[in-house]
Structure 1
Amino acid sequence: WILYEKPNFEGPSIPLEEGELELTDIWGAGTSEEQSDCKSQKPAVIGSIRHVIKANQMIMVIFIFQDYRVCRIDLYTEPEGLGIVTSFFDDTEETGVFGTTQKTCSIKVHWGIWLLYEEPGFQGVPLMLEPGEYPNLLFWERKEAYIRSMRPLKMGGRKVEFSGEPKVIVYEKPFFEGRHVEIESEIFMLDDKESEDKTRLPLASVGSMKVLGGVWVAYEKPGFEGHQYLLEEGAYREWTDWGGYDEEVQSLRPIVGDFTSSHMIMYSEKDFGSKGSNINVLGIISDLKDTGYGLRTQSINVLSGVWVAYENPEFTGEQYILAKGLYPSIEAWGGKNCKISSVQPIVMDIVGSERGKVKVQLFSEPEFKGNCQIFEKNTRCIDSFAVKSSKILDGSCIVYDQEEFAGNQYVLEEGIYPDLIAMGCSPQAVLKSLRIINIELSEPCIALFEKMGFQGKKIEFSTEILNLQFLGYNPRIASVQVLGGIWIIYEHSNYRGRQMLLTPNEIPDWYKASGFCQIGSLRPLLQ
């Protein structure tokens, strides 16, 4: 984004990259001593705002919201693009060689928004230049300049804010006109005829979209085939906004995954072969050629997170969306060849968001139908309706079948629960109260004792146990110590029966606290 002091994009300007900025004396007008003594600063006056949108590398007439094309600027020692030319492609803290800086009399910006500084290390007030040819420096009110450092503005990475609330409005025509349908799950194909099949979209075409939540992938062909287009949260007025090769979008689906951590292993051979090379990837790589791994990738193991792989360097060209799982060949991710030149993860956007704030949706009918109520704090009595399904959009909670957080407990982690059985309840259960589960940062560890008061044989676990008796332990437990983490205790094996949530604490009499004398299975709560 670019802020201008005056309307119509005139006057001094300030470029804004992704992040936060304190708007204090942004035009350098200075403040008097009287003003500086005041606790409240005078608001900044902004005349106009412009969104930097640039053309896609593959189809020059296409305009997209995210542009990762390689930036380039040429500095000439003579006017009109004559003399010695020096090209720059990225951040340059010092342009001088052996202490001398070459003069600049004309400039050509091939790509990118560049900030030019007359001091090294990006110091001083920058001059901002957009793509174009500058045959002289009259715009800078000088004949020549000595540019000591420079850098292009960088686009932010791929982000998602409402990962647990996938929702998109699809319009039949561009610019959000014509018939429209709101969807929250995958669409296998378009079908202009009315159908009860929820995987068919009752539209003849897709002209524009508004992604209200989550990350989505649009596909050129039905059945999730053809070119892939990543859709972040935002508005897409027409097919050029999502970087399409043409107007065709025939299927659509949300990406489900953990966006808090990212790790994958790329292999140069099929089926994760050990004969070739491989590379562990934990973050953004703009050009895999620079890593020594190479550009040939024939299999990928995504251990965590969701990734976008690109055919060309600097996040351009054909793109492939990779969720957690095994991809033994290029066909598994829809590739047409084995070339992958750059990769980047999709991360959770926590700047300015309410990440970490628990949000629970309860519905009065199964399959998320009927009345809906949203809960973000402890509720001693749910008396508005009978709960039949739920969505936990962030965090975790416990629901109880009695008021005041009493009775049987049912732990609900982030996810969707279309009916009471999916929530771990009986079909006749009536949920009456709800408690939010706070985050516990300690490492999971729990000790179980065969006698009360932490006496007798002790068994200690730090990971989930599906069947305590199957491992050779006596399931009759008399006392419990939670040494770290949050644990869910189940009366029977395979996470069945009554549940009880435990935070770090000591329970000298397990039967008195829980009401059941045995522990069949247990696991730490995912946070």
Structure 2
Amino acid sequence: MSDCSDMTSFLSKCASCRVESGCFMVYDHPNYMGIQYFLRRGEYSDYNTLGMSDSIRSCRLIPQIIFYEDKNFQGRSYETSSDCPELTSYLSRCNSCRVESGCFMVYERPNFMGHQMLARRGEYPDNQRLMGMTMSDCIRSCRMIPTHRGPFRMKIYEKENYGGQMNEVNEDCDSIQERYRMSDCQSANVMDGHWLMYEQPHFRGRMLYLRPGEYRSMRDMGMGPMDMRIGSIRRIMDSC
């Protein structure tokens, strides 16, 4: 289950629950109103012990990622449900992580720059296997990827500053060279949805996360001075 604005559509009342995976905020009124409580994985046999009324009437899935100083989830930890531009404000280093729910983009440099990788729900005991990094095995920033259920729309441009050939994209594209006859993509304008851009066709190689906004160059996309060509584009769907 993800978000549910009125559980009485499915149950006459809800007096206990079991969170098998992820994290949820539950409410004692429909439409995410009233007393609320944060539930992690576990069993909740009686809501009165949480200080709530005897029934839950709506719930929301809360993205949650936990970072650890050392490999294999050892050392100090830091958890967040939102963007974090500088993880060293909380941990001296980060060498493993666990995504409890949702999707996050993790970066090897502060301020969402450098090599980046999509982290879905699951355990990542060694960042080198997650990130595929060679120069550094440390995560230094992260972005939460919100759920998007509306249309997807972006414009891609062959050159920086919206120059050269332009094409509008509404769905996954496994090869921009074959579909649009574009030699490269150096800038973009994302109107709707959240996207991943890949270095190679068929969604392979290094990736870039783009949320709604204007990107005049590869640096704006988060790669700094690194030289990267775009070969394919994929929407980030609810399956995260």
Within the candidate set 182, 200, 207, 1:312 is matched to 200
| Residue 325 (structure 1) aligned with residue 213 (structure 2) | yes
Report the TM-score, using the length of structure 2 for normalisation: 0.67
Q: Which position in structure 2 is the counterpart of 1:175? A: 72
Cα offset, 1:253, TM superposition: 2.2
Within the candidate set 75, 81, 86, 1:189 is matched to 86
Relative to structure 1, is the Cα distance of residues 163 and 278 closer, same or farther in structure 2, using a 3 angstrom cutoff? farther
Relative to structure 1, is the Cα distance of residues 163 and 347 closer, same or farther in structure 2, using a 3 angstrom cutoff? farther
Runs of 4+ in 1 over 4 A off after TM superposition: none
1:146-192 CA distance string (max 9 Å, x none): xxxxxxxxxxxxxxxx995221111122222222222222222233x
1:355-395 CA distance string (max 9 Å, x none): xxxxxxxxxxxxxxxxxxxxxxxxxxxxxxxxxxxxxxxxx
Cα offset, 1:271, TM superposition: 2.5
SS across alignment from 2:177: helix
Give the 5 Å matches for 1:154-173. 165-173=62-70
The answer as to whether partners of 2:66 and 2:77 remain within 8 angstroms in 1 is yes
1:84-121 CA distance string (max 9 Å, x none): xxxxxxxxxxxxxxxxxxxxxxxxxxxxxxxxxxxxxx
Between the two proteins, the alignment pairs up a number of residues equal to 178
Cα offset, 1:310, TM superposition: 0.9
**Greater RCO (CA < 8 Å, at least 6 residues apart):** 2
The answer as to whether partners of 1:220 and 1:226 remain within 8 angstroms in 2 is yes
Q: Unpaired runs of 5+ in structure 2?
A: 1-58
- Structure with the higher helix share, 1 or 2: 2
Q: Unpaired runs of 5+ in structure 1?
A: 1-161, 192-199, 351-527
SS across alignment from 1:348: coil
Cα RMSD (Å): 2.3
The answer as to whether partners of 2:115 and 2:131 remain within 8 angstroms in 1 is no
The answer as to whether partners of 1:190 and 1:250 remain within 8 angstroms in 2 is yes
**Could you tell me how far apart the structure 2 residues matched to 1:260 and 1:349 are?**
14
Q: Which position in structure 2 is the counterpart of 1:281? A: 169
**Could you tell me how far apart the structure 2 residues matched to 1:163 and 1:309 are?**
29
Report percent identity of matched pairs: 29
SS across alignment from 1:245: coil
**Could you tell me how far apart the structure 2 residues matched to 1:266 and 1:282 are?**
11
**Could you tell me how far apart the structure 1 residues matched to 2:85 and 2:132 are?**
19
The answer as to whether partners of 1:284 and 1:344 remain within 8 angstroms in 2 is yes
The answer as to whether partners of 1:300 and 1:327 remain within 8 angstroms in 2 is yes
Q: Which position in structure 1 is the counterpart of 2:231? A: 341
**Could you tell me how far apart the structure 2 residues matched to 1:338 and 1:229 are?**
15
The answer as to whether partners of 1:267 and 1:298 remain within 8 angstroms in 2 is yes
**Could you tell me how far apart the structure 2 residues matched to 1:337 and 1:238 are?**
26
Code of the residue aligned with 2:230 in structure 1: it is I
The answer as to whether partners of 1:188 and 1:224 remain within 8 angstroms in 2 is yes
Relative to structure 1, is the Cα distance of residues 217 and 297 closer, same or farther in structure 2, using a 3 angstrom cutoff? same
Code of the residue aligned with 2:176 in structure 1: it is L
Q: Which position in structure 2 is the counterpart of 1:454? A: none
Report the TM-score, using the length of structure 1 for normalisation: 0.32
